Amino acid sequence: MRTGHFIETPGRQLALSTNPVTWSWTGALLVGLAVFPLVASNYLLSIAVTVGIAAIGAIGLNLLTGVTGLISLGQAGFLAAGCYTTALLIADYGWPPELALPAAGVVSALLSLLIGVPSLRLKGLYLAITTLAFSFIITHFLLYAEELTHGPYGVRVEDVGFLGLDLARQDHLFYLVVAVLVLTVLASLNLLRTRVGRAFTAIRDHDVAARVMGISLTRYKLAAFVVSSFIVGVAGGLMAFQFRFINVDLFNLLISIEALAMIIVGGLGSVAGAVLGAIFIVLLPEVVRELIDQLPASLTAMLSTYVYEVRGLLTGLAIIIMLRIEPHGLIGLWRDAKRYWTHWPLSV
């Protein structure tokens, strides 16, 4: 039975993980992701791209809601801002995609200040309603500012390249999304180990005590909004590459609910939990669709008519069941299983 180990050097103290098994599994996962496009169909690749983009957005929301404790329902608005920024810069202004993608994050981060500054004294339900209203404002602006955003006609992004990748090909787009996801995971894990990340956690646990300890609530809450919105904006920019024709109908309230469901089901405050939650929520409708196809034809036709209602129902059920069974989410189940295996045969 493994009982633990000592950390003997500052370098090991600063390492993301001192367990060689963790690094081995991480390397195996990266190799699997590199090989996946060679054996997968375009359909599976498109689902994998959706999962990757959702995971990036979930990590961004997790920094704001899971780590800092600021509830946000404005995910759809920031995704829309990032998506339209990338699409418009490429289609109307001829920007290279390598610059248009980070610009999406910058625009979303700047927009977050518009909601962050007025919301500094708000928290809980009041903050959630404020972010939801801001999301509606963004989508309405995109719909009616036709001279700038093309309004209801949408924006078409022609086949573009990104650092030598042809994004019209699903495998090349998959590699780009995986690269951005890996960078996002590394950046988030390192941020949480810094003074800024510890301040985020202190604000979530007890903001009054954090203020007494000298933590500036104004500065760090705004920082949480900016960092979170930048990541979500980049996820929105990747959506422009994925869909290649975008309009405001893509960014409805259900996206914000699903994003919140991802970090709840995966595990609040955990980067790995955000990724697991994104995988679960994105794949859940696909699994259910496969099960529905096995039902009698009449029942299959009826359920197919209410596909969006079924999707929302399943998302709600997933949240309720996970909160009832394991409040710490999928990452909590994984930690319990790992602890049981580590302490076996003395596991209780």
Cα(237)–Cα(229) distance, rounded to whole angstroms? 12
Rg (CA), the chain: 21
pTM: 0.88
Over residues 119-131, the pLDDT tens digits come to 777 777 788 888 8
Q: How far apart are CA 244 and CA 238, in angstroms?
A: 10
Kindly report, residue by residue over 169-228, the tens digit of the pLDDT.
888 999 999 999 999 999 999 999 889 999 999 988 888 888 888 888 888 999 999 999
Binning pLDDT at 50, 70 and 90, where does residue 316 land?
confident
Instruction: Specify the pLDDT at position 181.
Output: 95
User: Band of the pLDDT at 302, cuts 50, 70, 90?
Assistant: low
- May I ask the CATH class of domain 35-343? mainly alpha
Tens digits of residue pLDDT in 37-67: 888 888 899 999 999 999 999 999 999 998 9
Q: Across residues 128-151, what is the average pLDDT?
A: 87
Q: Look at residue 347 and tell me whether its pLDDT is greater than 70.
A: no
- The string of DSSP codes covering 164-208 is TEETTSHHHHHHHHHHHHHHHHHHHHHHHTSHHHHHHHHHHH-HH
Q: Cβ(160)–Cβ(97) under 8 Å?
A: yes
pLDDT: which is higher, 251 or 289 = 251
pLDDT at position 313 = 76
Residue 341 has pLDDT above 80, yes or no: no
Predicted pLDDT of residue 20: 74
Least confident of 135-149, 174-188, 329-343: 329-343
Mean pLDDT calculated for residue range 23-42 = 86
What is the residue-averaged pLDDT of the chain?
84
Residue 120: the pLDDT is 74
Res. 118: pLDDT tops 90: no
Q: Peptide bond before 345: cis, by omega within 30 degrees of 0?
A: yes
CB 342 within 8 A of CB 4: no
CA-angle at 288, arms to 79 and 175, nearest 5° = 45
* Band of residue 1 on the pLDDT scale cut at 50, 70, 90: very low
- pLDDT on residue 180: 95
Q: Which amino acid is at 280?
A: F
**Residue 167 confidence class, pLDDT cut points 50, 70, 90:** confident
Question: What pLDDT, in 10s, does the model give residues 250-277?
Answer: 888 888 888 888 998 888 888 989 999 9
Residue 61 · residue 264 · CB < 8 Å:
no
Q: Give the angle subtended at the CA of 135 by the CAs of 317 and 305, to the nearest 5°.
A: 45
